[in-house]
């Protein structure tokens, strides 16, 4: 099968991410001499469309409420960071009810994967659900660690962000929003024109000259599908765990071969961690041995080993051996 740029549901991407995606593709096309030579007109058209889209996007974001939203967002991030560090500190306890509560709350935090650098609407939605959990089914654990003030602060600040966002969205003029929709449609048309041309040349002339560009754009598409277009419907922890296990099960066999391990020697331990704001790590046990483990991340369609150690007393952490 001929190598080609994959498809992506452009209309489902939020405005800010849409601009980032298109700007990146236009930059890749212009930076690739072979691609630009064959599709200069299409690349220049996409670049111009992206600039026009950004001009309207900046205008659409201007609002008297922007300062209110920014202030509330900073307050929310402060309460969230305080809560997170509180849970983390109790995870270092050697045992007892505090340790059990902290472990449960830490896994809960990991499942949500909230970071202050998230897209604002997405962070707000996830924070709403997180607080509901902490004031509901995890209320006893929160009380055990005396973290109620942080949870109450998160709720108040998050409600302020949510209400300000709703007001700002309704106050934006139909003219500006209509213009943004039109600019996005023009950008999408320019993007499709570029991709059709490159895919056609790859089909006719062979993919060698275009493989680097195609692979680069496809990696970006897969990342956006995973990080931007993933479902916003709330999964239960058990459903999320099942989905993660299924994903890893499909990637582990190739990873075992890469490491020279026997088939079915690796298994997902059911624990995750955050390397940074964008990178989730997964704990794998070797032969179901909790003292013999590997932390990995998903890179495209494969697993990559990561040099990571969790905190004291945590699975995959300090005090437990790991293979080299």
pLDDT reading at 235 higher than 70: no
Domain boundaries, the chain: 10-62+173-227, 66-171, 237-306
Question: Which pLDDT belongs to residue 320?
Answer: 40
**To the nearest whole number, what is the mean pLDDT of the chain?**
86
Residue 64 has which token pair? 């008297």
Which pLDDT score, from 0 to 100, does residue 229 have? 77
Q: Locate 197 and state its tokens.
A: 């041309």
- Give the Cα separation of 139 and 22 in Å (integer): 44
Q: Quick one: average pLDDT of 315-324?
A: 46
Q: What tens digit of pLDDT does each residue of 78-126 get?
A: 999 999 999 999 999 888 999 999 999 999 999 988 988 888 888 898 9
Give the separation between CA 210 and CA 35, rounded to whole angstroms. 6
Q: Kindly state the tokens that stand for 62.
A: 């201007």
Q: Where are the alpha helices (DSSP H) in the chain?
A: 15-31, 33-38, 40-61, 66-91, 96-112, 120-134, 139-144, 148-171, 174-205, 211-227, 237-259
Instruction: Give the C-alpha separation, 25 to 35, whole Å.
Output: 12
pTM over cut 0.85: no
Cα–Cα distances (Å) from 197 to 39, 40, 42, 200, 205, in that order, read 7, 11, 8, 5, 12
pLDDT tens-digit map of 245-303? 888 988 999 999 999 999 999 999 888 888 777 788 999 999 988 888 899 999 877 89
What is the CA 223 to chain-centroid distance, rounded? 8
Q: How far apart are CA 111 and CA 120, in angstroms?
A: 19
CA distance 123 to 188: 26
List the beta bridge partners of residue 283: 295
**Helical pair 96-112 and 237-259, crossing angle rounded to 10 deg:** 80
How much is the pLDDT for 103? Answer: 93
Give the span between the Cα atoms of 39 and 201, in whole angstroms. Answer: 10
C-alpha pair distances (Å), 291 with each of 99, 271, 284: 20, 14, 11
pLDDT for res 310: 66
- Local confidence band at 68 (pLDDT 50, 70, 90 cut-offs): confident
Query: Could you report the per-residue pLDDT of 54-63, keeping only the tens digit for each?
Result: 888 876 666 5
CB 127 within 8 A of CB 154: yes
Q: What is the mean pLDDT of residues 141-165?
A: 91
Give the DSSP H or E segment for 298: strand 289-299
pLDDT at 233 over 60: no
Strand partners, 281: 273, 297
Q: Can you tell me the distance from the alpha carbon of 107 to that of 272, in angstroms, rounded to the nearest whole number?
A: 8
Q: At 220, is the pLDDT very low, low, confident or very high (cuts 50, 70, 90)?
A: very high
For the chain, the straight-line distance linking the first and the last C-alpha, in angstroms and rounded, comes to: 38
């Amino acid at each position: 099968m001929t190598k080609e740029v994959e498809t992506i549901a452009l209309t489902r991407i939020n405005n800010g991410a849409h601009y980032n995606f298109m700007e990146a593709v236009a930059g890749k096309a212009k930076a690739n001499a072979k691609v630009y030579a064959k599709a200069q007109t299409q690349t220049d058209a996409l670049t111009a469309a992206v600039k026009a889209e950004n001009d309207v996007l900046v205008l659409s974001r201007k609002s008297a409420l922007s300062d209110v939203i920014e202030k509330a967002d900073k307050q929310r991030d402060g309460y969230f960071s305080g809560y997170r560090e509180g849970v983390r500190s109790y995870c270092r306890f050697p045992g007892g009810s505090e340790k059990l509560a902290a472990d449960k709350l830490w896994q809960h935090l990991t499942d949500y994967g909230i970071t202050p650098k998230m897209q604002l609407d997405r962070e707000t939605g996830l924070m709403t659900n997180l607080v509901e959990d902490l004031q509901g089914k995890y209320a006893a654990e929160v009380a055990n660690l005396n973290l109620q003030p942080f949870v109450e602060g998160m709720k108040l600040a998050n409600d302020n962000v949510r209400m300000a966002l709703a007001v700002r969205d309704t106050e934006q003029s139909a003219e500006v929003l209509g213009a943004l929709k039109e600019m996005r449609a023009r950008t999408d048309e320019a993007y499709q024109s570029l991709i059709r041309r490159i895919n056609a040349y790859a089909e006719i002339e062979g993919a060698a000259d275009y493989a680097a560009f195609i692979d680069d754009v496809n990696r970006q598409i897969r990342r956006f599908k995973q990080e931007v277009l993933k479902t916003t419907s709330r999964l239960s922890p058990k459903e999320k765990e099942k989905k993660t296990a299924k994903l890893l099960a499909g990637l582990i066999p190739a990873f075992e071969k890469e490491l020279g391990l026997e088939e079915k020697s690796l298994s997902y331990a059911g624990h995750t961690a955050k390397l940074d704001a964008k990178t989730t790590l997964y704990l794998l046990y070797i032969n179901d041995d909790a003292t013999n483990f590997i932390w990995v991340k998903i890179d495209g369609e494969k697993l990559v080993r990561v040099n990571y150690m969790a905190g004291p007393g945590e699975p995959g952490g300090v005090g437990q051996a790991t293979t080299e």
